[in-house]
């Protein structure tokens, strides 16, 4: 007899987690509590409630976490201009610590003994979910069925579902989408099937959020983004909540073919993986945020942030959102954003985001009286540059003299 009496399952209502729900009941003979997070995946979630109820679940949580997701996870990440391995905007990675947090909250609320998830033993998500869970509740038991059962193929999952009378959408029976997909307000990802050949171009009909740049409007669209403390708070001078900002930028970016990515990344477990992503709103946010910082951040502060960003990105990608080192970096990053206030104007056109203007009425470090190519009326003494250059060249001159003496 298992010592697990109640488990909270991260439940989507799809094939995998529906099978997991039944398997937990059979294998552990325990009560299952389901948790479904609305983080902007764009799907109707009530069917998940009905499906869980039919499978005997009495405690069902379907939580709207969209504002929390963008406000407390996406926005802090974008304050650092975070990009993993030069390309990936971490759309899946940044959602996992929020889901782990809510799993633990529900486990505490329902007095559950364990939590469970549907991540496979090959991917990053198992690490992200479990590192987050252990950081928040160190003695929690975690059940990862993909590391325990023998249902290691789609055919075996379908057979299990049929044997237990688990309803399966026709799209699963017929193969459905040829891709493994994950969506939230920040992005949608595609993996598997034809994408497992990194030499093969993705099929044109794979993309769901963005038109191809070739089919995007022939006229550019200009938008103005208002910033406060490093976060976008308004679009075209209309105040918006964090979730509404991202949703609207997704709409605008998708319309203009912005935010498509096709990349091979290094997973934390050691393998390389090819994935395709659509992050239209995130692509606009990143470009605009860097433009806002360009006029409001001190040079050395900006450069230090850029040096630390790859480490910060790896922490998020690898699942260390709740770690002390990520929190420490976040404190520094957030402190740097106190002056990142103002507006940025961007032009959206055929897959491109182009910055065409930026200003801050209160915090701009751009001084036109010094930067001008015209007569600056003595604001900057150009003769000072000679001594500046000689001092910085001193070590180079000393080394060159020594080399000359040696005949090198």
For the chain, 408 residues long, give each residue's pLDDT as a single digit of tens: 579 999 999 999 888 999 999 999 999 999 999 999 999 998 889 999 999 999 999 999 999 999 999 999 999 999 999 999 999 999 999 999 999 999 999 999 999 999 999 999 999 999 999 999 999 999 999 999 999 999 988 889 999 999 999 887 644 444 556 788 999 999 999 998 899 999 999 999 999 999 999 999 999 999 999 999 999 999 999 999 999 999 999 999 999 999 999 999 999 999 999 999 999 999 999 999 999 999 999 999 999 999 999 999 999 999 999 999 999 999 999 999 999 999 999 999 999 999 999 999 999 999 999 999 999 999 999 999 999 999 999 999 999 999 999 987
241 assigned to active site: no
Residue range 6-67+91-176 forms a domain whose CATH class is alpha beta
Token pair 């590192």: residue: 131
Q: Cα–Cα distance between 56 and 166 in angstroms, integer?
A: 12
Kindly report the CATH number that applies to the domain delimited by 183-297+340-359.
Answer: 3.90.1260.10
pLDDT of residue 176: 53
Model confidence, pTM: 0.95
Contact 345, 224 (CB under 8 A): yes
375 assigned to active site: no
Rg for the chain (alpha carbons), in Å?
26
* Exposure letters 270-293 (e unless 16+ CB within 10 A, then b): eeebbbbbbbbbbbbbbbbbbbbb
Which one of the listed residues 66, 96, 128, 358 is annotated catalytic?
96
Phi, psi of 393 (to 5 degrees): -90, -5
Q: Cα–Cα distance between 293 and 310 in angstroms, integer?
A: 18
147 assigned to active site: no
Q: Cα–Cα distance between 130 and 353 in angstroms, integer?
A: 37
Of 249, 241, 187, give the one whose Cα is nearest residue 223. 249
Which one of the listed residues 38, 63, 72, 180 is annotated catalytic?
180
> What are the boundaries of each domain within the chain?
6-67+91-176, 183-297+340-359, 368-406
Which one of the listed residues 125, 128, 189, 273 is annotated catalytic?
125
Q: Cα–Cα distance between 144 and 24 in angstroms, integer?
A: 10
Q: Cα–Cα distance between 276 and 179 in angstroms, integer?
A: 10
Determine the longest span between alpha carbons in the chain, in angstroms. Answer: 88
Three-state DSSP state, 331: helix
Which one of the listed residues 16, 79, 93, 360 is annotated catalytic?
16
| Structure token pair of residue 279 | 């992050």
16 assigned to active site: yes
Q: Cα–Cα distance between 234 and 403 in angstroms, integer?
A: 59
pLDDT of residue 172: 46
pLDDT of residue 1: 52
């Amino acid at each position: 007899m298992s010592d697990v009496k109640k488990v909270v399952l991260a439940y989507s209502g799809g094939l995998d987690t529906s099978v997991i729900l039944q398997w937990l009941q059979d294998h552990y003979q325990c009560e299952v509590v389901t948790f479904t997070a609305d983080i902007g995946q764009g799907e109707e979630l009530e069917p998940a409630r009905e499906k869980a109820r039919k499978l005997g679940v009495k405690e069902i949580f379907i939580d709207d976490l969209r504002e929390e997701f963008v406000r407390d996870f996406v926005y802090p990440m974008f304050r650092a201009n975070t990009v993993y391995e030069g390309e990936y905007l971490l759309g899946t990675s940044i959602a996992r610590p929020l889901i782990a947090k809510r799993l633990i909250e529900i486990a505490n609320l329902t007095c559950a003994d364990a939590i469970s998830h549907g991540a496979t033993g090959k991917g990053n998500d198992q690490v992200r979910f479990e590192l987050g869970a252990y950081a928040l509740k160190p003695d929690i038991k975690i059940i990862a069925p993909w590391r325990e059962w023998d249902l290691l193929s789609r055919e075996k999952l379908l057979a299990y579902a049929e044997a237990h009378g688990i309803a399966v959408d026709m799209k699963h029976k017929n193969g459905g989408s040829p891709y493994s997909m994950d969506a939230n307000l920040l992005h949608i990802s595609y993996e598997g099937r034809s994408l497992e050949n990194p030499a093969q171009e993705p099929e044109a009909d794979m993309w769901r959020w963005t038109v191809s740049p070739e089919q995007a409007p022939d006229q550019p669209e200009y938008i103005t983004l208002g910033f406060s403390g490093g976060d976008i708070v308004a679009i075209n001078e209309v105040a918006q909540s964090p979730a509404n900002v991202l949703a609207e930028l997704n709409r605008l970016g998708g319309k203009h073919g912005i935010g498509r990515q096709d990349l091979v990344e290094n997973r934390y477990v050691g393998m390389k993986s090819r994935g395709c992503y659509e992050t239209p709103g995130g692509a606009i946010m990143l470009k605009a945020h860097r433009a806002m910082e360009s006029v409001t951040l001190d040079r050395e502060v900006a450069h230090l942030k850029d040096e630390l960003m790859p480490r910060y990105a790896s922490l998020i990608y690898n699942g260390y959102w709740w770690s002390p080192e990520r929190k420490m970096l976040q404190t520094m990053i957030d402190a740097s954003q106190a002056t990142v206030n103002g507006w940025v104007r961007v032009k959206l056109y055929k897959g491109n985001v182009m910055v065409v203007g930026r200003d801050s009425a209160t915090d701009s470090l751009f001084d036109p009286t010094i930067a001008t190519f015209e007569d600056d009326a003595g604001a900057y003494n150009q003769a000072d540059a000679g001594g500046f250059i000689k001092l910085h060249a001193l070590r180079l001159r000393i080394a060159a003299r020594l080399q000359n003496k040696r005949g090198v």
